[in-house]
Chains A and B, each alone.
Chain A
Amino acid sequence: MPRVGQDLRQYLQLDAMPHVWCPGCGHGQVARGLATAFERLSLPLERLVLVGGIGCSGRTPFYFNANALHTTHGRALAFATGLKLTRPELTVIATMGDGDTAAIGGNHFIHACRRNIDITAIVYNNGIYGMTGGQQAPTTPRGARSVTTPLGSLEPPFDIVQLALAAGATFVARSTTFDFDELPALIVDAVRHPGFAVVEVLTQCPTYYGRMNELGDAVAMLDYERDLTTPQREITKEGLAGRRPLGVFRREIAPEYTAQYAELCARQAERP
């Protein structure tokens, strides 16, 4: 049963708080979603490895009492793949930004989706590069301003969900930081899913994206997120009307990589 206001301190690295994120940054809300999910999953933290990329989202592992592997820009999933193959019994969750996922790490992302290895990728999508000061991301909407697109972006953005679906991820979902109850529920489902799971989370960057695109403060940006999206159950005959759908887009059981590898080893060992 969902609870709000629960004490999540046992999951946090209290010495590292307050965290690095700006006032009103949605990444803290994603972190809360993760902590809430860990409580629901009753995960022993010493069996959990949070693998971070580089950028604002990549800092997430530092704020938890779990194992932290803070890697390089875009490569979190490649590190996670080596780790998971060696230690399939560990729960491995990658926290990645939209630039991490779809720009510098695009290759690793699609191949992790294709392999169906039991790793959960939480993709924090704020449509911009925050850590470096507000540059265009591969998710920046057409026309949106950033410090490298001061007159508006000319490029069509990647849709992370469609990318994950096309590349073969077996669990694909989208949520937002507005949806404080659905987000942890989707993370729980993603972590339990025996295969590669992607949860894209639309998250606000009031410092850069909000300011440069005149979307107001964090409070206004949450409303913007709400208005930009539609839960799938609420999609009407008229369709999405330009909104992005939320919820689970795929949940399929398919052969998982580490399990298949273990079987392959067992077959080999039987041979004389």
Chain B
Amino acid sequence: MIPGFARYAQGAAALHVNRAWCKGCNLCIAACPSGILALDADQRIAVGDIGRCIFCGLCSVRCPDFVFVLERPSLGSVEARA
């Protein structure tokens, strides 16, 4: 666990999300190819079905607020998947 981050696991991989740093800008939501991200009633990030996450990391590179950290034990890079 990362202090302050919630962990959403899919097998050995996980998406860590720091909701407290989120400002609700929608950049990650627009970037997510799986459409699993949304804003909650507080206008902060909420993770839907983590089972559909492909761990592309676009949420993290688009986020201006360092909200996302990916844990991908088996994957080296985006290129490795391509």
A and B touch in the complex (CB under 8 A): yes
Residues of A within 8 A of B (CB): 1-9, 12, 17-19, 21-29, 31-32, 35, 180-181, 206, 217-219, 222
Q: Shortest distance in angstroms between B23's beta carbon and chain A's nearest beta carbon?
A: 4
> Does B7 count as interface, using CB distance less than 8 angstroms?
no
Known: A17-B21, A21-B64, A29-B62. A218 touches B77 (CB 8 A): no
Checking A4, A7, A22, A218 against B27 with a beta-carbon cut-off of 8 angstroms, the contacting residue is: A218
Name the 9 nearest CB pairs between A and B, nearest first: A28-B64, A5-B70, A4-B57, A5-B57, A24-B25, A23-B23, A180-B61, A5-B60, A23-B25
> Does B65 count as interface, using CB distance less than 8 angstroms?
yes
Q: Shortest distance in angstroms between A38's beta carbon and chain B's nearest beta carbon?
A: 13
A18–B58 CB distance below 8 A:
no
A8–B30 CB distance below 8 A:
no
* Total interface residues in chain B, CB < 8 Å: 30
B61–A9 CB distance below 8 A:
no
A3–B66 CB distance below 8 A:
no
> Could you give 15 example pairs across A and B, Cβ below 8 Å?
A2-B78, A3-B57, A3-B76, A5-B60, A5-B70, A5-B72, A17-B21, A24-B23, A24-B64, A31-B66, A181-B61, A218-B26, A218-B27, A219-B26, A219-B27
Rounded to whole angstroms, the CA-CA distance of A32 and B62 in the bound complex is: 9
> Does B24 count as interface, using CB distance less than 8 angstroms?
yes
Known: A9-B2, A18-B20, A217-B25. A4 touches B70 (CB 8 A): yes
Rounded to whole angstroms, the CA-CA distance of A19 and B48 in the bound complex is: 26
**B68 / chain A contacts, CB cutoff of 8 Å:** 5
B26–A24 CB distance below 8 A:
yes
Rounded to whole angstroms, the CA-CA distance of A6 and B55 in the bound complex is: 11
**B57 / chain A contacts, CB cutoff of 8 Å:** 3-5
Q: With CB as the reference atom, state the residue of chain B lying closest to A183.
A: B61
**A218 / chain B contacts, CB cutoff of 8 Å:** 25-27, 64
- Mark contacts of B18-34 with chain A using CB atoms, 8 A cut-off: 1 yes-contact digit, 0 otherwise: 00110111110010000
A18–B61 CB distance below 8 A:
no
Checking A1, A8, A17, A23 against B79 with a beta-carbon cut-off of 8 angstroms, the contacting residue is: A1
B24–A23 CB distance below 8 A:
yes
> Does B6 count as interface, using CB distance less than 8 angstroms?
no
**B30 / chain A contacts, CB cutoff of 8 Å:** 219
